[in-house]
Amino acid sequence: MNNIKTIDEYLLGNMAPGDALLFDANMLLNNDLISDMEHQQNTYAVIRQYGRKKIKEEIVAVQKILATAPQHRGFMHRIANLFKKY
């Protein structure tokens, strides 16, 4: 599976120090490796954005339950009242 696993271990700090040193040396000699590593870093950024988007959707769903379910009406009413005082 080419260098995916190696770069994963390197970027996430799961590589043994000796292997990491070897990886650093390889990067000096191999432009493709640098490029793959940059793309993989960008991939983690995309995964994090995706994760944030999805977790926020879950939080918004919880907020919707609070706003609509009868058993939470008292709670939401008390919250809404806080904004009437100011």
Residues at the contact surface with another protein, assessed by CB under 8 A: 1-2, 4-5, 8, 36, 38-56, 58-63, 65-66, 75, 78-80, 82-83, 85-86
Pairwise CA distance, residues 14 & 19, whole Å: 10
Minimum CB separation of residue 84 from another protein in Å reads 9
Q: What is the DSSP letter of 15?
A: S
What are the CA-CA distances from residue 28 to residues 24, 34, 49 (Å)?
7, 8, 30
Minimum CB separation of residue 66 from another protein in Å reads 6
Minimum CB separation of residue 18 from another protein in Å reads 22
